[in-house]
Protein backbone atom coordinates (compact mmCIF):
# COMPACT_ATOMS: atom_id res chain seq x y z
CA UNK A 1 0.00 0.00 0.00
CA UNK A 2 2.82 2.39 0.78
CA UNK A 3 4.22 1.89 -2.73
CA UNK A 4 0.85 1.88 -4.49
CA UNK A 5 -0.29 5.10 -2.82
CA UNK A 6 2.87 7.09 -2.07
CA UNK A 7 5.74 5.97 -4.31
CA UNK A 8 7.40 9.29 -5.36
CA UNK A 9 6.90 8.69 -9.08
CA UNK A 10 4.20 6.02 -9.41
CA UNK A 11 2.09 6.33 -6.25
CA UNK A 12 -1.60 7.06 -6.64
CA UNK A 13 -1.42 10.22 -4.50
CA UNK A 14 1.79 11.39 -6.18
CA UNK A 15 0.54 11.37 -9.77
CA UNK A 16 -0.27 14.85 -11.16
CA UNK A 17 -3.94 14.24 -11.90
CA UNK A 18 -7.38 15.13 -10.58
CA UNK A 19 -8.68 12.34 -8.36
CA UNK A 20 -11.62 13.94 -6.54
CA UNK A 21 -14.88 15.23 -8.00
CA UNK A 22 -17.49 14.42 -10.60
CA UNK A 23 -15.53 15.18 -13.76
CA UNK A 24 -14.44 12.53 -16.23
CA UNK A 25 -11.31 10.72 -15.07
CA UNK A 26 -11.92 11.21 -11.34
CA UNK A 27 -12.25 8.23 -9.00
CA UNK A 28 -14.36 9.38 -6.04
CA UNK A 29 -16.04 12.40 -4.48
CA UNK A 30 -15.97 13.76 -0.95
CA UNK A 31 -17.90 16.29 1.06
CA UNK A 32 -15.67 19.02 -0.36
CA UNK A 33 -17.05 18.16 -3.81
CA UNK A 34 -20.28 19.89 -2.71
CA UNK A 35 -18.62 23.27 -3.19
CA UNK A 36 -18.13 26.14 -0.70
CA UNK A 37 -21.13 25.13 1.43
CA UNK A 38 -19.07 22.43 3.13
CA UNK A 39 -16.33 24.91 4.03
CA UNK A 40 -18.89 27.37 5.35
CA UNK A 41 -20.44 24.64 7.50
CA UNK A 42 -17.06 23.57 8.88
CA UNK A 43 -16.12 27.17 9.67
CA UNK A 44 -19.44 27.73 11.47
CA UNK A 45 -19.06 24.51 13.47
CA UNK A 46 -15.47 25.35 14.42
CA UNK A 47 -16.50 28.79 15.69
CA UNK A 48 -19.22 27.18 17.81
CA UNK A 49 -16.77 24.62 19.26
CA UNK A 50 -14.26 27.34 20.10
CA UNK A 51 -16.87 28.76 22.46
CA UNK A 52 -16.10 32.22 23.82
CA UNK A 53 -12.68 32.30 22.16
CA UNK A 54 -12.24 34.78 19.33
CA UNK A 55 -11.72 32.83 16.06
CA UNK A 56 -9.45 35.64 14.84
CA UNK A 57 -6.90 34.40 17.39
CA UNK A 58 -6.69 31.01 15.63
CA UNK A 59 -5.07 29.81 12.42
CA UNK A 60 -7.09 27.32 10.39
CA UNK A 61 -4.75 24.55 9.22
CA UNK A 62 -6.09 21.90 6.84
CA UNK A 63 -3.92 18.79 6.52
CA UNK A 64 -3.87 16.36 3.60
CA UNK A 65 -5.16 18.66 0.89
CA UNK A 66 -5.19 17.82 -2.81
CA UNK A 67 -3.16 20.30 -4.90
CA UNK A 68 -5.21 23.41 -5.52
CA UNK A 69 -7.84 22.36 -2.98
CA UNK A 70 -8.81 23.29 0.55
CA UNK A 71 -12.14 23.39 2.34
CA UNK A 72 -11.90 27.16 2.82
CA UNK A 73 -10.89 27.92 -0.77
CA UNK A 74 -13.14 30.76 -1.89
CA UNK A 75 -14.88 30.90 1.51
CA UNK A 76 -15.02 34.05 3.63
CA UNK A 77 -13.92 32.83 7.06
CA UNK A 78 -13.50 34.38 10.52
CA UNK A 79 -10.07 32.95 11.38
CA UNK A 80 -6.88 34.92 11.75
CA UNK A 81 -5.31 32.99 8.88
CA UNK A 82 -5.81 29.83 6.85
CA UNK A 83 -3.26 27.53 5.23
CA UNK A 84 -3.18 24.06 3.72
CA UNK A 85 -0.72 21.20 4.12
CA UNK A 86 -0.52 18.73 1.25
CA UNK A 87 -0.18 14.97 1.68
CA UNK A 88 3.55 15.00 1.00
CA UNK A 89 4.28 17.71 3.58
CA UNK A 90 4.95 17.20 7.31
CA UNK A 91 1.69 17.67 9.29
CA UNK A 92 2.91 20.55 11.46
CA UNK A 93 0.90 23.15 13.37
CA UNK A 94 1.99 25.74 15.92
CA UNK A 95 0.34 28.25 18.22
CA UNK A 96 -3.45 28.52 18.49
CA UNK A 97 -5.04 26.51 15.70
CA UNK A 98 -8.07 24.80 14.30
CA UNK A 99 -6.55 21.69 12.71
CA UNK A 100 -8.89 20.12 10.16
CA UNK A 101 -8.76 17.15 7.81
CA UNK A 102 -11.21 15.61 5.36
CA UNK A 103 -10.65 11.96 4.43
CA UNK A 104 -7.00 12.09 5.42
CA UNK A 105 -6.82 9.10 7.73
CA UNK A 106 -8.54 6.60 5.44
CA UNK A 107 -5.84 7.35 2.84
CA UNK A 108 -3.06 5.93 5.02
CA UNK A 109 -1.56 2.46 4.50
CA UNK A 110 -3.06 -0.29 6.63
CA UNK A 111 -1.97 -3.79 7.60
CA UNK A 112 -4.16 -6.79 6.84
CA UNK A 113 -4.53 -9.81 9.13
CA UNK A 114 -6.47 -13.05 8.70
CA UNK A 115 -7.41 -15.63 11.36
CA UNK A 116 -6.46 -19.07 10.08
CA UNK A 117 -5.52 -22.32 11.80
CA UNK A 118 -6.34 -20.89 15.25
CA UNK A 119 -4.04 -17.87 15.01
CA UNK A 120 -3.58 -14.53 13.25
CA UNK A 121 -1.41 -14.21 10.15
CA UNK A 122 -0.36 -11.03 8.40
CA UNK A 123 -1.09 -10.79 4.69
CA UNK A 124 1.41 -9.30 2.28
CA UNK A 125 1.93 -9.19 -1.48
CA UNK A 126 4.18 -11.30 -3.68
CA UNK A 127 4.98 -11.15 -7.39
CA UNK A 128 4.60 -14.61 -8.90
CA UNK A 129 4.92 -15.20 -12.64
CA UNK A 130 4.35 -11.51 -13.24
CA UNK A 131 1.15 -11.41 -11.20
CA UNK A 132 0.64 -9.75 -7.81
CA UNK A 133 -0.92 -12.12 -5.29
CA UNK A 134 -1.82 -12.00 -1.60
CA UNK A 135 0.32 -14.23 0.65
CA UNK A 136 0.89 -14.84 4.34
CA UNK A 137 4.08 -13.23 5.62
CA UNK A 138 6.04 -14.06 8.79
CA UNK A 139 6.27 -11.69 11.71
CA UNK A 140 4.56 -10.59 14.88
CA UNK A 141 0.99 -9.35 14.98
CA UNK A 142 -0.33 -6.45 17.11
CA UNK A 143 -1.34 -7.34 20.65
CA UNK A 144 -4.63 -5.51 20.11
CA UNK A 145 -5.99 -8.27 17.88
CA UNK A 146 -8.62 -10.44 19.62
CA UNK A 147 -7.55 -13.79 21.04
CA UNK A 148 -9.84 -15.68 18.69
CA UNK A 149 -12.07 -15.13 15.67
CA UNK A 150 -13.99 -17.19 13.11
CA UNK A 151 -11.83 -19.01 10.57
CA UNK A 152 -10.96 -16.64 7.72
CA UNK A 153 -11.93 -13.45 9.58
CA UNK A 154 -10.01 -10.45 8.17
CA UNK A 155 -9.06 -7.27 10.01
CA UNK A 156 -7.71 -4.32 8.08
CA UNK A 157 -5.82 -2.54 10.84
CA UNK A 158 -5.30 1.21 10.16
CA UNK A 159 -2.16 1.46 12.28
CA UNK A 160 -0.54 4.21 10.18
CA UNK A 161 -3.62 6.41 10.66
CA UNK A 162 -3.25 6.18 14.44
CA UNK A 163 0.44 7.05 14.18
CA UNK A 164 -0.39 10.05 11.99
CA UNK A 165 -3.01 11.25 14.48
CA UNK A 166 -0.36 11.22 17.19
CA UNK A 167 2.00 13.24 14.99
CA UNK A 168 -0.67 15.82 14.19
CA UNK A 169 -1.57 16.09 17.87
CA UNK A 170 2.02 16.99 18.84
CA UNK A 171 2.15 19.53 21.71
CA UNK A 172 3.32 22.40 19.46
CA UNK A 173 -0.21 23.82 19.22
CA UNK A 174 -3.40 24.29 21.20
CA UNK A 175 -6.97 24.60 20.04
CA UNK A 176 -9.46 22.46 18.13
CA UNK A 177 -8.98 19.21 16.20
CA UNK A 178 -11.65 18.22 13.64
CA UNK A 179 -11.37 15.18 11.35
CA UNK A 180 -14.05 14.11 8.85
CA UNK A 181 -13.71 10.53 7.68
CA UNK A 182 -15.42 7.16 7.66
CA UNK A 183 -14.62 4.61 10.30
CA UNK A 184 -15.81 2.18 12.92
CA UNK A 185 -15.10 1.33 16.55
CA UNK A 186 -12.54 -1.37 17.31
CA UNK A 187 -15.40 -3.57 18.50
CA UNK A 188 -17.11 -3.26 15.12
CA UNK A 189 -13.93 -3.96 13.19
CA UNK A 190 -13.22 -7.10 15.21
CA UNK A 191 -16.76 -8.53 15.33
CA UNK A 192 -18.94 -7.11 12.56
CA UNK A 193 -16.68 -6.94 9.47
CA UNK A 194 -15.62 -10.53 8.66
CA UNK A 195 -14.27 -9.64 5.21
CA UNK A 196 -12.41 -6.55 6.40
CA UNK A 197 -13.17 -3.02 5.25
CA UNK A 198 -10.52 -2.50 2.54
CA UNK A 199 -11.63 -1.61 -0.97
CA UNK A 200 -10.43 0.10 -4.11
CA UNK A 201 -11.98 2.95 -6.09
CA UNK A 202 -11.45 3.57 -9.78
CA UNK A 203 -13.63 5.83 -11.94
CA UNK A 204 -16.28 5.95 -9.19
CA UNK A 205 -16.55 2.17 -9.07
CA UNK A 206 -15.85 0.24 -5.87
CA UNK A 207 -13.87 -2.99 -6.10
CA UNK A 208 -12.50 -5.65 -3.77
CA UNK A 209 -9.51 -6.29 -6.07
CA UNK A 210 -6.89 -4.39 -4.10
CA UNK A 211 -4.02 -5.55 -6.30
CA UNK A 212 -5.43 -4.39 -9.63
CA UNK A 213 -4.03 -1.23 -11.25
CA UNK A 214 -1.31 -0.50 -8.65
CA UNK A 215 -0.78 3.26 -8.53
CA UNK A 216 -3.86 3.94 -10.64
CA UNK A 217 -6.65 3.27 -8.14
CA UNK A 218 -7.40 4.49 -4.63
CA UNK A 219 -6.95 2.03 -1.77
CA UNK A 220 -8.70 2.66 1.52
CA UNK A 221 -10.18 1.12 4.64
CA UNK A 222 -12.27 2.32 7.58
CA UNK A 223 -10.32 4.14 10.27
CA UNK A 224 -10.56 2.98 13.88
CA UNK A 225 -12.07 5.88 15.83
CA UNK A 226 -10.96 4.40 19.16
CA UNK A 227 -7.33 4.46 18.08
CA UNK A 228 -7.51 8.04 16.83
CA UNK A 229 -9.24 9.17 20.03
CA UNK A 230 -6.56 7.43 22.12
CA UNK A 231 -3.84 9.23 20.12
CA UNK A 232 -5.48 12.57 20.96
CA UNK A 233 -6.01 11.89 24.66
CA UNK A 234 -2.41 10.71 24.87
CA UNK A 235 -1.39 14.20 23.76
CA UNK A 236 -3.58 16.03 26.26
CA UNK A 237 -6.84 16.50 24.36
CA UNK A 238 -10.00 16.46 26.45
CA UNK A 239 -12.58 13.71 25.77
CA UNK A 240 -12.70 13.31 21.98
CA UNK A 241 -16.21 12.99 20.53
CA UNK A 242 -17.27 11.05 17.42
CA UNK A 243 -20.53 12.05 15.72
CA UNK A 244 -22.10 11.28 12.38
CA UNK A 245 -21.51 14.08 9.89
CA UNK A 246 -25.23 14.82 9.99
CA UNK A 247 -25.27 15.13 13.79
CA UNK A 248 -22.03 17.15 13.89
CA UNK A 249 -23.24 19.74 11.41
CA UNK A 250 -26.75 20.02 12.88
CA UNK A 251 -25.43 20.29 16.47
CA UNK A 252 -22.63 22.76 15.78
CA UNK A 253 -23.64 24.60 12.59
CA UNK A 254 -27.40 24.64 13.06
CA UNK A 255 -27.61 28.42 12.84
CA UNK A 256 -25.89 28.41 9.44
CA UNK A 257 -28.18 25.64 8.19
CA UNK A 258 -31.31 27.48 9.34
CA UNK A 259 -30.20 30.78 7.82
CA UNK A 260 -29.28 29.19 4.48
CA UNK A 261 -32.55 27.26 4.29
CA UNK A 262 -34.62 30.35 5.14
CA UNK A 263 -32.76 32.57 2.67
CA UNK A 264 -33.54 30.23 -0.21
CA UNK A 265 -36.86 28.86 0.95
CA UNK A 266 -38.71 29.51 -2.30
CA UNK A 267 -36.34 27.67 -4.63
CA UNK A 268 -34.35 24.45 -4.76
CA UNK A 269 -30.97 26.10 -5.27
CA UNK A 270 -27.52 24.50 -5.67
CA UNK A 271 -26.76 25.54 -2.08
CA UNK A 272 -29.81 23.70 -0.77
CA UNK A 273 -28.89 20.68 -2.88
CA UNK A 274 -25.40 20.73 -1.36
CA UNK A 275 -26.90 20.85 2.13
CA UNK A 276 -29.07 17.86 1.28
CA UNK A 277 -26.07 15.87 0.05
CA UNK A 278 -24.03 16.69 3.16
CA UNK A 279 -26.76 16.14 5.75
CA UNK A 280 -29.19 13.53 4.51
CA UNK A 281 -28.55 10.06 5.98
CA UNK A 282 -28.99 8.41 2.59
CA UNK A 283 -26.23 10.59 1.11
CA UNK A 284 -23.17 11.65 3.16
CA UNK A 285 -24.84 12.42 6.49
CA UNK A 286 -24.39 8.93 7.93
CA UNK A 287 -21.66 7.59 5.66
CA UNK A 288 -19.12 9.92 7.24
CA UNK A 289 -18.31 10.70 10.85
CA UNK A 290 -16.51 13.56 12.56
CA UNK A 291 -14.00 13.28 15.40
CA UNK A 292 -13.44 16.49 17.33
CA UNK A 293 -11.57 17.43 20.49
CA UNK A 294 -10.05 20.47 22.17
CA UNK A 295 -6.79 21.07 24.02
CA UNK A 296 -5.97 23.92 26.39
CA UNK A 297 -8.70 26.31 25.33
Q: 264 and 122 in one domain?
A: no
Locate the DSSP E strands across 106-222: 111-116, 119-128, 131-137, 154-157, 173-181, 183-184, 199-202, 205-207, 218-220
| pLDDT reported for residue 265 | 72
> Average pLDDT of the chain?
93
Q: 32 and 21 in one domain?
A: yes
Q: 164 and 45 in one domain?
A: yes
DSSP 68: T
Predicted confidence (pLDDT) per residue in 97-111, tens digit: 999 999 999 999 999
| pLDDT reported for residue 146 | 97
- Going by pLDDT thresholds of 50, 70 and 90, the confidence category of residue 28 is confident
Domain edge (last residue) among 157, 175, 195: 157
Q: 141 and 53 in one domain?
A: no
Q: 184 and 143 in one domain?
A: no
- Inform me whether the pLDDT recorded for 258 exceeds 80: yes
| pLDDT reported for residue 263 | 83
Q: 178 and 97 in one domain?
A: yes
Q: What is the mean pLDDT of residues 245-267?
A: 90
| pLDDT reported for residue 27 | 79
As for how many domains the chain has, the answer is: 2
| pLDDT reported for residue 49 | 98
Q: 143 and 88 in one domain?
A: no
| pLDDT reported for residue 271 | 84
Predicted confidence (pLDDT) per residue in 173-217, tens digit: 999 999 999 999 999 999 999 999 999 999 999 999 999 999 999
| 217 located within any domain | no
Predicted confidence (pLDDT) per residue in 16-26, tens digit: 888 887 788 88
What CATH number corresponds to the domain at position 281?
3.40.50.12710
CA angle 206, 73, 221 (to 5 degrees): 25
Q: What is the mean pLDDT of residues 4-32?
A: 85
- Inform me whether the pLDDT recorded for 90 exceeds 80: yes
| 213 located within any domain | no
pTM of the model: 0.94
Q: 243 and 178 in one domain?
A: yes
Domain edge (last residue) among 121, 137, 157: 157
Q: 117 and 99 in one domain?
A: no
| 192 located within any domain | yes
Q: What is the mean pLDDT of residues 251-259?
A: 95
Q: Domain range holding 255? A: 2-109+159-206+222-295
In terms of DSSP H, where are the helices of the chain?
2-6, 36-50, 159-168, 186-191, 225-233, 245-252, 254-263, 270-279
Amino acid sequence: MELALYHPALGYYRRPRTRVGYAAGTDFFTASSSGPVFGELIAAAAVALLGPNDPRDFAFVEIGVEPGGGVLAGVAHPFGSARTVQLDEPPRAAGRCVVFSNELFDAQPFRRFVFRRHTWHELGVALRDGVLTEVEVPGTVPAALPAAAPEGYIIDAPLAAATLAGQIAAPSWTGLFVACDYGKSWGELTAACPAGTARAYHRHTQSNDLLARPGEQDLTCHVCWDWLADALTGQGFATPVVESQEAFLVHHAGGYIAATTAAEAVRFSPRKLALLQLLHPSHLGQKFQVLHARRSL
